[in-house]
Amino acid sequence: MKLVWQNPLTLIGFIIISSILLLAAIAPLIAPYDPNAIDVKAILLGPSQLHLMGTDGLGRDVFSRMLYGARISLMVGFVAVGIATLIGIVLGAIAGFYRGWVDTVIMRTVDVMLSIPTFFLILAVIAFLSPSIWNIMIVIGLTSWMGVTRLVRAEFLSLRNREFVLAAQALGAKDFRLIFGHLLPNSLTPIIVSSILGIASAVLVESGLSFLGLGVQAPQASWGNILTDGKEYIQFAWWLSLFPGLAILLTVLGYNLLGDGLRDAYNPRSNQH
Amino acid sequence: MASYLLKRILWMMPLLLGISLISFFIMHLAPGDITTSEASFNPKASEESRQKLRALYNLDKPVIVQYGLWVKRLAKLDFGTSFASHQRPVFWQTTDKDGNVTLGMIQEALPITLLINVLSLLLIIGIALPLGVISALKQNQWPDRGITMFVFLGFAIPGFWLALMLMYWTGVQHSWLPISGLESMGHENLTWPAQIWDTLQHLVLPVFISAITGLAGISLFVRNGMLDVLHQDYITTARAKGLNENKIIYGHALRNALLPLITIFGLSIPGLIGGSVIAESIFAIPGMGKLFYDAVLMRDFPVIMGILTIGAILTMLGNLLADVSYAWADPRVRRGAM
């Protein structure tokens, strides 16, 4: 564990992510205004002591909306990656443990999924269902499990014939116990690293979708849809575009620094440079 | 070589079938059938035209038969006509009985997206290669740290936000660059060098935005590749026999570090095509991404399905091209795989 914090970048990533998590958690306590309260007397005000990040075209307080938007971004990231990781672990474990034709079928499905431009696929599904936060989390999850599947399978293939696994098998351990008791715990580190990096890209995808108007719908605030308003008013209200963009940038940067740092710390091979 | 190619092309068939299955499944996700959404899109759609649509998509037949027919039409690259754009053919041009040619929507949009992606690949190579090499040669010194920071920022910056900022800064504040479309007003009255110059100016921002994530990724990749290669025995051998350092780096190390790049470019094609949605819809460029985005908003199903399939075919062709070039560039692979 000590090794992890030796890299200052990892520590910075950790601090960024935990601050954003904290702010999102206590959003109702620190938000100065109701994020959806429209105030026609305060339309497009610049940042001031009253409104830290100014107000938007409907007079809503941008700082409060940013805080609640953080909840959305973090939730989408966690749930989408949770879904993807779960699918990836199950499919990757089956493929790597049993091999044979099951492996072939699963890995060819991965190939097919990787051949379809993911962002197109997500947009298409959203078009057929309706854009809502739950649909977005599910769709991002269902279109991003391929990496984890490959990873878990590769880990299982390399662990499958190690002595400790063979020993457990010789002692009569059932498949279920071998997979969940021995193989999976020993593959956890790369799975966690890839999940953290996955959250970063899920946050980017969600904000992109919301920016295009196909993500989180008004009046619910998300960093992406605050930016959409920012695009409308870019000539008069720079604060509407600047803050949500910076927030997305910081969040993704934080997850990437953290994920990369953990990988380097636990994988000495990638650390040799 | 020929048998390898044949094997790869045959392998594309089951892949295509899988893709068609997924596309078909998505088409059937829609609540009701496509004729209901057509009717909601166009309230004047008569019962007769709905029947025609049902027959066109064989919605009156069992699902398995529907799938078979859909695959049969795919095999002929027949993607039907658009709901939203006056029955324009989705993929390729058609000629009516009076000899009037109607251009296909993908036929018009695809070259634009390809042009932008090729230019952004060239930009990526032009910038990321030197950055990666410098970073590797100055490992853990300040140029390396600076470039690493740039890489992390490149990965984290939301492309649409950067696009918005650049649009504001270069277009609105300073009017240095045009910010929308591919042609200025009066483009057709210009001489052809002026036309090309005009279009190039329009391409600067979209190409840069499409390139930014790739820039970060490829710099990192070249850096790590160079570091790996520089630790190999044959580099030590080259140094031991007294070869000059430039020759070692550019003649031996770089060439070997670049090999895997071919595969990376092949793998990045779906990302590039998918990423075109954001850049093209922000800059109002009539390419595949904008076409797809508009089709999604209009629920124009034939166009959606057509672009999904064509996008997947392009991806597979890209991967094939990457594998073949890799084999061509690396004799070890050639002997092993073919």
- Among A116, A205, A263, A271, most B C-beta atoms within 10 A, so best to mutate, is A116
Chain A contacts of B264, Cβ < 8 Å? none
| pLDDT score of A195 | 92
Nearest CA in chain B to A211: B160
Buried b (16+ CB within 10 A) or exposed e, B240-259: eeeeeeeebbeebbbebbbb
Task: Pick A246 or B335 by higher pLDDT.
Answer: A246
In a domain, B83, yes or no: no
- Residue B290 falls inside a structural domain: yes
- Given a cut of 90, whether residue A249 has pLDDT beyond it is yes
Confidence of residue A79 (pLDDT cuts 50, 70, 90): very high
> B102 φ, ψ to 5°?
-110, 120
Question: Do B228 and B154 belong to one domain?
Answer: yes
Q: How far separated are the first and last CA of chain B, in Å rounded? A: 6
In a mutagenesis test of the A interface, which of B155, B175, B269 is the best target, namely the one with the most A β-carbons within 10 Å? Answer: B155
Of the candidates A146, A218, A157, the one whose C-alpha atom is nearest the C-alpha of residue A186 is A157
Q: How far apart are CA B278 and CA B112, in angstroms?
A: 15
Q: How many CA atoms lie within 13 A of B304 on its CB side?
A: 30
Residues B309 and B169 in one domain: yes
**Cβ within 8 Å, pair A116-B311:** yes
Q: What is the pLDDT of residue A272?
A: 47
Assess whether B42 and B180 both reside in one domain: no
Kindly identify which residue of chain A lies nearest to residue B155, measuring between CA atoms: A253
| DSSP reduced 3-state for B20 | helix
pLDDT score at A271: 46
Q: Which of A48, A16, A47, A53 is nearest to A31 (CA)?
A: A53
Domain membership flag for residue B93: no
B217 domain residue, yes or no: yes
CB-based contact A128 B278, cutoff 8 Å: no
- The verdict on B271 and B127 lying in the same domain is yes
Distances (CA, A) of A89 to A136, A176, A195: 21, 13, 11
Site from A120, A225, A267 to mutate, B interface, most B CB atoms within 10 angstroms:
A120
Torsion sign across C-alpha atoms A185, A191, A193, A199: negative
User: pLDDT band for position A273 (50/70/90)?
Assistant: very low
Alpha-carbon distance B134 to B139, whole Å?
Answer: 8
**Cβ within 8 Å, pair B19-A117:** no
Q: What is the pLDDT of residue A83?
A: 96
CB-based contact B22 A112, cutoff 8 Å: yes
B255 and B303 co-located in one domain: yes
Count of A-B CB contacts under 8 Å? 135
B32 and B177, same domain (yes or no) = no
CB pair distance less than 8 Å for A256 and B156: yes
Whether residues B63 and B113 fall in one domain: no
- As beta bridge partners, residue A55 has A61
d(CA A239, CA A66): 12
What residue has token string 């200025």? B184
- Rounded to an integer, the average pLDDT of A172-197 is 86
Contact yes or no for B224 and A273 at CB 8 A: yes
Residues 6+ apart with CB under 8 A from A146: A88, A110, A113, A114
- C-beta atoms of B172 and A128 within 8 A: no
pLDDT in tens, chain B (338 residues): 677 778 778 877 887 788 778 777 777 766 655 555 555 555 555 667 667 666 766 666 777 777 787 778 777 777 777 766 666 777 777 677 777 777 778 887 888 888 888 888 889 888 888 888 888 888 888 888 888 888 888 888 888 888 888 888 887 777 777 777 777 777 777 778 888 888 888 888 888 888 887 888 888 888 888 888 888 888 888 888 888 888 888 877 888 888 778 777 777 777 777 778 888 888 888 888 888 888 888 777 778 888 888 888 888 888 788 877 777 777 776 655 44
Q: Are residues B60 and B115 both part of a single domain?
A: no
Secondary structure (H, E, C), A31-53: CCCCCCCCCHHHCCCCCCCCCCC
Sign of the C-alpha dihedral computed for residues A190, A195, A198 and A199 taken in this order: negative
Question: Residue A94 and residue A96: Cα distance in Å, rounded?
Answer: 6
Give me the residue from A108, A116, A249 closest to B22, CB to CB: A116
- CA–CA dist A31, A127 (Å, integer): 33
- pLDDT for A251: 93
CATH of residue B272's domain is: 1.10.3720.10
Which of A261, A227, A272 has the alpha carbon at shortest distance from A14?
Answer: A261
Which of A72, A142, A153 shows the shortest CA–CA distance to A105? A153
Q: Any idea what the Cα angle at residue B44 is, between residues B38 and B46, rounded to 5°?
A: 75
Task: Return all residues near B276 (Cβ < 8 A) that are at least 6 apart.
Answer: B113, B116, B117, B210, B287, B288, B289
- Together in a domain, B206 and B122: yes
Q: Do B307 and A119 touch (CB under 8 A)?
A: no
- A13-32 residues touching B, CB cutoff 8 A: none
B296 contacts in A (CB within 8 Å)?
123-124, 126-127, 214
∠ at Cα B27 (B21, B31), nearest 5°?
140
A157, exposed or middle or buried, with CB in 10 Å at 0-12, 13-18, 19+? middle
Q: Is A86 on the interface with B (CB under 8 A)?
A: no
Nearest CA in chain A to B157: A249
Task: Specify the pTM.
Answer: 0.84
Chain-centre distance for alpha carbon B49? 35
CA distance A61 to A71: 16
Asked if residue B194 and residue B72 are part of one domain, the reply reads no
Q: Which domain holds residue B192?
A: 107-337
Q: What DSSP string describes B220-232?
A: HHHHHHHHHHHTS
- From B29, B274, B299, residue closest to A120, measured CB to CB: B274
Tokens at B338, concatenated: 């073919």
Q: Is there a single domain that holds both residue B171 and residue B255?
A: yes
Which ranges of chain B would DSSP assign to H, the alpha helix?
2-27, 34-41, 47-56, 63-75, 105-137, 142-156, 159-166, 192-230, 233-240, 245-246, 254-267, 269-282, 288-298, 301-329, 331-337
Residues of B in contact with A108 (CB under 8 A): 14-15, 18
- Does residue B84 sit within a domain? no
CA distance A164 to chain B (A): 32
CB neighbours of B44 closer than 8 A, spacing ≥ 6?
none
B53 touches chain A (CB under 8 A): no
Instruction: Assess if residue B99 is contained within a domain.
Output: no
- B27, part of any domain: yes
Shared-domain flag, residues B319 and B208: yes
Residue in the structure block whose two tokens are 């594998």: B323
CB B117, CB B272: distance < 8 Å:
yes
Tens-digit pLDDT profile for residues A135-184: 889 989 998 999 999 999 998 888 888 888 888 888 888 888 888 888 88
Which two tokens mark A70? Answer: 């953080």
Asked whether residue B6 is assigned to any structural domain, the reply reads: no
CB distance A115–B270 less than 8 Å? yes
Q: ipTM of this model?
A: 0.82
Report chain B residues whose CB lies below 8 A from the CB of A123. Answer: 277, 292-293, 296
Total count of domains within chain B: 2
